[in-house]
């Protein structure tokens, strides 16, 4: 398979402040300006305007961690796709395991969100991954397949044409416990096979990135694997030196 442009993103989750964001971004603007990868940050929604302003014209893009699939109206606390588009967001994170487990987001919600993102011409970064219990009972592939096919069956494989898929094993998120490069590579290959059953070309286009305790020390061994096209980084993206190393790896 042809080597794809790497995708490296920092999911800040519910972290940051006006001054921390400014310091982090000012450092990153300098250090990653020659990165060959697509570099994206996902700040909390309230900071998108600040982040988009600082990054205007830079090679680091802005994404949002979640959106509503509704267009507008009485949905207290939600933000719509047209709102994030207004602020120049290019990427939308969909179905992060924290959204699924803590906020009850279902596969059907994920499909609806993916549909509106694709219709708006933005790039969905859709997250899939198994829990420890599912892995230990040998259900990893079944879970990943169900998460993907529930979306494909609802809105079609075409929706994945411009998508990034993040494989984030739930047990590796924020735990310091990374999937081994072999374990991750195996699941990434399985994700490609699952898409291939629907459409060869789309499977080849999609970048599958790994997330779960990626840091400056383990990134090289992960990126050495054929099927790992980048990383979705949580904790290590909050600190310029570590995130730079990952973005430049």
- Which parts of this chain interact with ligand 13P (CB under 6 A)? 11, 96, 168, 173-174, 211-214, 232-236
Find the shortest distance in angstroms from Cβ 247 to ligand 13P: 14
Whether residue 93 contacts residue 134, with contact meaning beta carbons closer than 8 Å, is answered with no
| The residue count for the chain | 249
88 is in an annotated binding site: no
11 is in an annotated binding site: yes
Q: Minimum distance from CB of 177 to ligand 13P (Å)?
A: 9
| 133 counts as catalytic | no
Tokens of 61: 């893009």
Rounded Cα distance, 248 and 246, in Å: 5
Q: Which is nearer to ligand 13P, 42 or 160 (CB)?
A: 42
Would the annotation count 235 as a binding residue? Answer: yes
Residue with tokens 């603007």: 29
Nearer to ligand 13P, 41 or 157 (CB): 41
Q: Are 102 and 63 in contact (CB under 8 A)?
A: no
Three-state DSSP string of 62-75: EEECCCCCCCCCCC
Catalytic residue among 96, 130, 134, 188: 96
Least distance between ligand 13P and beta carbon 212 (Å): 5
Active site residue 96: yes
Count helices and strands (H / E) in the chain.
11, 8
Q: Which is nearer to ligand 13P, 127 or 157 (CB)?
A: 127
| Residue nearest ligand 13P, CB atom distance | 234
Query: Is there a binding annotation on residue 12?
Result: yes
d(CA 85, CA 168): 26
- Structure-block tokens of residue 134: 């599912």
The binding site for substrate comprises 11-13, 174, 213, 234-235
What residues are labeled active site? 96, 168
The binding site comprises 11-13, 174, 213, 234-235
């Amino acid at each position: 398979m042809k080597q794809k442009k790497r995708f490296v993103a920092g999911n800040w989750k519910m972290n940051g402040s006006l001054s921390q964001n400014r310091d982090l971004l000012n450092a990153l603007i300098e250090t990653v300006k020659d990165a060959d990868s697509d570099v994206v940050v996902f700040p909390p929604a309230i900071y998108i305007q600040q982040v988009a302003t600082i990054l205007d014209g830079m090679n680091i893009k802005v994404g949002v961690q979640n959106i509503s699939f509704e267009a507008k109206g009485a949905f207290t606390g939600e933000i719509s796709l047209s709102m994030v588009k207004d602020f120049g967001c290019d990427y939308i994170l969909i179905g992060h395991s924290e959204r699924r487990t803590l906020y009850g987001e279902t596969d059907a919600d994920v499909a609806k969100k993916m549909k509106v993102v694709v219709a708006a011409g933005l790039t969905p970064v859709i997250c899939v991954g198994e829990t420890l219990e599912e892995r230990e009972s040998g259900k990893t592939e079944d879970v990943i397949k169900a998460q993907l096919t529930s979306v494909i069956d609802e809105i079609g494989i075409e929706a994945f044409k411009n998508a990034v898929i993040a494989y984030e094993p739930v047990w590796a998120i924020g735990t310091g416990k990374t999937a081994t490069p072999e374990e991750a590579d195996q699941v990434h290959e399985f994700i490609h096979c699952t898409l291939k059953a629907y459409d060869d070309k789309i499977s080849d286009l999609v970048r599958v990135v790994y997330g779960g305790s990626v840091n400056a020390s383990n990134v090289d061994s992960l990126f050495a694997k054929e099927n790992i096209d980048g990383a979705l980084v949580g904790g290590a993206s909050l600190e310029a030196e570590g995130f730079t190393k990952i973005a430049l790896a």
